[in-house]
Structure 1
């Protein structure tokens, strides 16, 4: 019996030895590089949030960078005495209105340029994306002043559309180029008109691209400072312009400035967090055709 057990143990395969895995220099470099990149982007946000909980004296004190007595006085200044709820509503309204109008005009325009190969029109759209917005501020101000529109919501929505509309057209053209033309041709054979094929076939398939264009357009409108600074009024002031109120001639209220910056940043971060998959899928959808 004992001899049989010994033969079975000898016949049994040896357990594999665990080999030591060698750490490649490239893997170490990649981890270090990613860590540095993440810290580069996160460190200013962390400093901004911590500074919003400090007094101006603590902000200038380097020994209280992380250990300090937090206070909410800066947020009380922002929401209590600075009327920031109205500025938040203004930013949301201008962002939604400019984005919605840009989609209504830009999606059909992008479809037409894609399907009918309008190279000259596409060049104009590209030119509109290249032209810096600051070069148009003075002409816009003169024109809208003569029309008595400066300080209203209409002029801010139109000025934001100058960038958001070419952005929508640029993204949607690439997306429509990636959609098979045979689907629309088959729909027209079945009795649909070209407009019907666009509404029933191409438009539902382009939802990821529309979501991407809408999100990016809204983010641009929310963060825009230059147009709102020149063309807005006391009742139409947006959040980025309202932040500028904490910068005085002789001093800067750093605590209030950082609290207001947190108020501006948090909604965009939440939107980007929950919509990142739509942004990635929409931007990569036009990378391949067919």
Structure 2
């Protein structure tokens, strides 16, 4: 049945409202990053203004953001790689050997608020003299990345047929050999999906880095606070820094969205 004209109009209006609601803050952030602080406060120059790149110069040169970009890249990359190395075999074991209790523990770790662990973590790592280094940041980001990867890959492995692995076992391969030669190549889309989402979550993580990072190990979300002072806020620099944080993730999401969607839906149907 074809949808009625009124339903098509309602659908178009609803989609327009959602798109505008999602894009309006992003567009305001980008335009504000091209204004001076005086123009940002001037409502008459909301759209008609003289763009300037001074805010980006302040971010990339005077605020030493190149180092913070490198810190974020290193922490997100290391946390993602280590989480994949540990999470993919764990998810395969839980899926193939019906380790549902272990899966429940992973799910609980996924839903526990990270803020509830910050105080014990800070106490333990401060006694170990690790606060302020990259190691503690990577380990804390893995708390978010590892359960996410296990949760995604369990659903993906549940959707893969077991007959191929059984045939490999008949041909003489061990369970590890079947996993390495048969299951791993078939699960590349799921691994890519889990890795991309893990990298994005780690790149955007603010809470752990705020408490556990040092002056030389700041990540970009924490470094944005440099533009927030006690008596005033540098809105132009703040919006430029936020744009620097946001645009790389938007570009990644734009180019890999089809892989993310296919990986997330691969385990949705079975049989």
Q: Post-superposition shift, 1:22?
A: 10
Q: Does 1:55 find its partner at 2:29? A: no
1:24 alignment partner in structure 2: 5
2:92 alignment partner in structure 1: 111
The correspondence for 2:195, drawn from 193, 203, 214, is 214
The correspondence for 1:93, drawn from 74, 96, 101, is 74
Distance of 2:213 and 2:229 partners within structure 1: 19
Helix, strand or coil at the partner of 1:191:
coil
2:247 alignment partner in structure 1: 266
Deviations 1:25-57 (A, max 9, x none): 000111111111111111111100000010111
Please provide the CA RMSD for this pair: 1.1
Q: Does 1:232 find its partner at 2:213? A: yes
2:26 alignment partner in structure 1: 45
Helix, strand or coil at the partner of 2:131:
coil
1:133 alignment partner in structure 2: 114
Deviations 1:175-208 (A, max 9, x none): 0000111110011111111111000111111111
Deviations 1:194-249 (A, max 9, x none): 11100011111111110110000000000000000000001100000000110111
Q: Does 1:153 find its partner at 2:134? A: yes
Aligned length, in residue pairs: 270
Distance of 2:209 and 2:186 partners within structure 1: 35
Equivalences for 1:137-216 in 2 at 5 Å?
137-216=118-197
1:247 alignment partner in structure 2: 228
Question: Which runs of no fewer than 5 residues in structure 2 stay unpaired?
Answer: none
Distance of 1:140 and 1:257 partners within structure 2: 30
* Higher Cα radius of gyration: 1
Distance of 2:203 and 2:40 partners within structure 1: 27
The correspondence for 2:16, drawn from 32, 35, 59, is 35
Helix, strand or coil at the partner of 1:192:
coil
Distance of 2:127 and 2:89 partners within structure 1: 32
Distance of 1:49 and 1:254 partners within structure 2: 12
Q: Does 1:256 find its partner at 2:249? A: no
Deviations 1:122-143 (A, max 9, x none): 0100010010000000000000
Distance of 1:219 and 1:229 partners within structure 2: 17
The TM-score, its normalising length taken from structure 1, stands at 0.92
1:283 alignment partner in structure 2: 264
The correspondence for 1:121, drawn from 102, 124, 128, is 102
Question: Which runs of no fewer than 5 residues in structure 1 stay unpaired?
Answer: 1-20
The TM-score, its normalising length taken from structure 2, stands at 0.98
Distance of 2:90 and 2:245 partners within structure 1: 32
Deviations 1:154-173 (A, max 9, x none): 00000000010000000000
2:60 alignment partner in structure 1: 79
